[in-house]
Amino acid sequence: MLSFTRRTLLALSASAAIATALPAVAADDIVIGGSIPLTGVFAFAGIGIEAGMQDYIKIVNEAGGIQGRKLRLAYEDTGYKVDASVAVFNKLTSQDEIHLYYGDSTGFAKTINGEIDRRGSMIMAGASFATELNDPKAFPHQFMAGPDYSEMTGILLEYIAKEKPGARIVLVNSDTEFGRDPIAATKARAGELGLEVVEEIITPPTAVDVSTEVLKLRRARPDYTIFHGYVLAPLPEFMTQAKQLGLETKFMGTFWSMDSSIWAKVGEAADGFMGVMPYRYYYDEADNAPMMDRIREMRPEYQSTPYMQGFLTAMLFTEAAKRTLEAGKELNGANLKAALNSIENFDTGGIIGVPISIPGNSIPVGRIYRYDASAQQMQPASDWISVQE
Amino acid sequence: MQIGTAKHSYQADEALLTTRPQRVWMALFAASLCIAPFVLDNYWLYLACLVAINVASATGLNILTGYTGLVSLGQAAFMAVGAYTVGWMQLNLGTPFLLNLVAGGIIAAAVGIVVGIPSLRVKGLYLAIATIAASFILHFIFVNWQSVTNGNSGLTLTPASFFGTPLTEYQQLYFVFVPITALMVLGAANLFRTRVGRAFIAIRDRDISAEVLGISLLRYKLMSFAISSFYAGVAGGMWAYFFRVVTPESFPFVYSIFFLAAIIVGGMGTILGGILGAVFMTLVPELLRFGIDWLTPVLPNAAAMLSPVRTIVFGLLIVGFLIFEPKGLAEIVQRSRRYFHLWPFKK
């Protein structure tokens, strides 16, 4: 005969409650899918991106959603591995009807591109700003919520050309697809602007000992050194050794090495580091930036640069879906991309300091910031620079 | 050792499937493989294809490490050789995909022979280090042989096509990958009923004794490397048609560790072990996602909070298997078989 103890009954009822509980989802929700790295080497970005997207979705839903339809983020961890990202894509698209998707890497964006084109039902953005993806012919259903890597270095070069015409530049890139991405375009643009690329240094992505490279830097005596393809290491080591050698070069970076909380841990050696940032920082005070005020209201503590990227991506997804539905069109890849490309002089609520347009796959706008170690903040060093042709 | 299975002929003694329940289970398994693509959704079909690729590669590594006793940490690099070969042939020659896959295997086998040369002088951890070195050399070639590999950007393949039909859906790819893997596994199982396979086992058990018995170490060690790399090359080729983008970062070093872990968890030196290990290593991280799914209704943002826990649980499962079942998952299957063989007459 079966007999139940109180503990068994409790366990059974708890399991039943979990098994039968249904998430608060409605059939007509607009679902944003996401292959997001919450573990692994890129977890710091994924955690920020997820929070940013969730916050914007909350704002939209509190305002009534899109034509009464709520937004929902369905996402899973990828560990920043392409096969896991594709698995998540297949899992989520098997569970929900998804028209908007966030991908976590260049590898995933390239791998899934054929499938997205074949399905024709969604648009995709993501953590990659690869120059290769900024091609509406090859990647017709993708976009990036910022400038591509070549446009980022282009913005840096515009700044340099204005600050010091004819400046000498050294490029330091990691030996990865990410790192080598903008080299050719940077050299070409530098030539056009009358700047001189005097040395190219390629390092392993996680290089620790960079003394040989710093000696190369010393020989080249550049006015500016542009890093790309790193998050942090080996930048602090470069900067510390260069300072010890008395080099006057100014160090610069691109978006993924621009989070101020990362540099705060480096301390005094980080002072003066500059770079291109497509969005405002959490602590930036500006007039007419209601979204920045809203973010600070929702989250009183500092939010990272990936948070801002996730927030803006969700905003652009929403805008594309809103425009498509307002036009009475079906939510599919072609209509959503056309709606996205119709965005012109769009006010992001201060996330980007100037109105933006998305004629292709990128938003080629950014601003130069300089790290102030005493304030532990990135301070604006230029106005917003657009490299839109 | 299974008792109570008296054989009446040499043929019966050498059969791959020795008992009736084994044949019945295998028939059921084969039938379920045939039905699977019609009942599984895209997600499970994707995983089934990925499992097929990983089983092919793990079986190859099992031939080398499990049966011949030569530890290799270069399996991912051999897969990359196969993938690049397939990609290059697809883009430059436009040859049929089956031919490309075989070529991928052959080129990988050739590279495997070269990488295997140090195995004539060193073994164990020293050989493992030699294969790691080979992996890094190959990675350097993938990055810098621009005209063939397209450097860091890699190769983007068009879909494989079968009589003019592009194989873009997972269901179509399943019908290609699963039979190829099944053939490869069958080949591996048969290999150990031949002189070659038994020579591999002899080398693993005691190489000096094997040489005394007349087994040429040079020939058979390199042959083992060649066969193992051939399997990896074909698996890499399938991988290339599956993901359709091959870059130097597609086959990281950790992928080699994945395969070594797969055969250890599954059971080294058994065909079933390679299969179970690859299935375990591929599917368990995915199955753990469902734990998070079940908790989502009661724990908002469960994915963000519990994803690191998922990784820890996966690691603990591997450690658990190594402690409680050092002979691998295959041994659990064997023990179950022995238990049910005489059931209900045995406790």
The answer to whether A21 contacts B170, with C-beta atoms less than 8 Å apart, is: no
Answer whether residue A13 shows pLDDT above 80. Answer: no
Q: What is the DSSP string of B213-272?
A: TT--HHHHHHHHHHHHHHHHHHHHHHHHHHH-EE-TTSS-HHHHHHHHHHHHHH-TT-HH
Cβ separation B46–A82 shorter than 8 A: no
The confidence score (pLDDT) of residue A7 equals 55
Token digits of residue B105: 């295997």
Which pLDDT band, with edges at 50, 70 and 90, does B232 fall under? Answer: very high
pTM attached to this predicted model: 0.89
**Which residues of chain A lie closer than 8 angstroms to B165, CB-CB?**
none
pLDDT tens digits, one per residue of B38-50: 999 999 999 999 9
Does B224 map to a domain? yes
Domain annotation covers residue B314 = yes
Q: Is pLDDT above 80 for A14?
A: no
Q: Do A93 and B42 touch (CB under 8 A)?
A: yes
A38 to chain B: which residues are within 8 Å by CB?
303-304, 307-308
Q: Would residue B125 count as lying in a domain? A: yes
pLDDT (tens digit per residue) in B162-202: 888 899 999 999 999 999 999 999 999 999 999 999 999 99
**Shortest CB distance from A87 goes to which of B249, B286, B304?**
B286
A336: tokens are: 């959503």
Structure confidence at residue B311 as a pLDDT band (50, 70, 90): confident
**Residue pair A254/A235 in contact by the 8 Å Cβ criterion:** no
Which residues in chain A have Cβ-Cβ distances shorter than 8 Å to B143? Answer: 175
For residues A113-141, average pLDDT: 96
Residue A153 has pLDDT above 90, yes or no: yes
**Predicted pLDDT of residue A72:** 95
In CATH, what number does A149-277+365-386 get? 3.40.50.2300
Question: B133: which 2 tokens?
Answer: 């070195």
A82 vs B342, residue with greater confidence: A82
Query: What are the tens digits of pLDDT across the range A38-69?
Result: 988 889 999 999 999 999 999 999 999 999 99
Chain B residues in contact with A82 by the CB 8 A cut-off are: 243, 250
Q: In chain B, which residue's Cα lies nearest the Cα of A109?
A: B245
Given an 8 Å threshold on Cβ–Cβ distance, is B244 in contact with A111?
yes
A249-274: average pLDDT = 93
Interface test with A, best of B90, B245, B255, B283 (most A CBs within 10 A): B245
Confidence of residue A22 (pLDDT cuts 50, 70, 90): very low
Residue A177 predicted with pLDDT over 80: yes
Under a CB-based contact definition with an 8 Å cutoff, are residues A331 and A340 in contact?
A: no
Q: State in Å, rounded, how far the first CA of chain A is from the last one.
A: 81
Does B334 map to a domain? Answer: yes
ipTM for the predicted complex:
0.86
Flag if A47 and B304 touch (Cβ within 8 Å). yes
Answer yes or no: same fold for A26-147+281-358 and A149-277+365-386. yes
* Domain boundaries, given as residue ranges, for chain A: 26-147+281-358, 149-277+365-386
Q: Tell me the CA distances in angstroms from B115 to A296, B83, B126, B132, B238, one per residue in order.
A: 57, 18, 13, 10, 22
CB pair distance less than 8 Å for A39 and B311: yes
**Which residues of B touch chain A, with CB atoms under 8 Å apart?**
41-43, 45-47, 50, 143, 151-154, 156, 159, 168, 170, 243-245, 247-250, 285-286, 289, 292, 294-298, 301, 303-304, 307-308, 310-311
CATH number (domain holding residue B134): 1.10.3470
CATH of A26-147+281-358, one of 3.40.30.10, 3.40.50.300, 3.10.20.740, 3.40.50.2300: 3.40.50.2300
- Cis peptide leading into A204, omega within 30 of 0? no
Name the band, by pLDDT with cuts 50, 70 and 90, for residue B138. very high
Across the interface, of A22, A82, A180, the residue whose CB is closest to B297 is A22
**Residue A255 backbone dihedrals phi, psi, to 5 degrees:** -45, -50
B250: chain A residues, CB-CB within 8 Å: 82, 107
Q: How far apart are CA A80 and CA A133, in angstroms?
A: 18
The answer to whether the CB of B49 falls within 8 A of the CB of B215 is: no
Query: What does the pLDDT average to over A265-272?
Result: 89
pLDDT digits (tens, 9 = 90+) for B79-125: 999 999 999 999 999 999 999 999 999 999 999 999 999 988 888 89
Position B139 pLDDT exceeds 90 = yes
Determine the structural domain holding residue B231 and report its residue range.
41-341
Nearest to B47 among A51, A75, A87 (CB): A87
Reply yes or no on whether the pLDDT at A18 is more than 50: no
Q: Is residue B295 part of a domain?
A: yes
Contact predicate B248/B143, CB 8 Å: yes
